[in-house]
Amino acid sequence: MERRTRLRRAADFERLRREGRSWPHTLLVLVSRPNELGFTRIGIVASKKIGNAVARNRAKRLLREAARRLYAGLEPGWDVLLIARRSILETKENSVEEALGHLARRAGLMAREHRR
């Protein structure tokens, strides 16, 4: 993903957690809020509850790939935070992508032509 489409500043993450609305799934939690920009930014978090560094990196890699595949179908103008849950380590890429797509549709983040 492009650098400008990633959330990087701690203040952005804090604002998103404080002001955003969340949608839970067994594999991840999606938190979103509108932004004033003309594009969507995505941040990914995997806490130490997930496991050691190898496990956290795998969880983030799975979420990053799912977000990359779905990014073109997202409405512009949102900040999105993806929080990994421990169960993500026991699944395959396809399951993570399906879960993220499901949450994005529930949250109303998918563009009209990508909705089912």
51-102 pLDDT tens trace: 999 999 999 999 999 999 999 899 999 999 999 999 999 999 999 999 999 9
At the top level of CATH, which class does the domain 3-104 belong to?
Answer: alpha beta
CA–CA separation, 58 vs 47, rounded Å?
A: 12
Element (H, E) at 24: strand 21-24
First to last CA, the chain: 25
* DSSP-assigned beta bridge partners for residue 30: 23, 82
Q: Are 93 and 101 in contact (CB under 8 A)?
A: no
User: pTM here?
Assistant: 0.91
Report domain extents, the chain: 3-104
5-20 pLDDT tens trace: 888 899 999 999 999 9
CA–CA separation, 32 vs 48, rounded Å?
A: 22
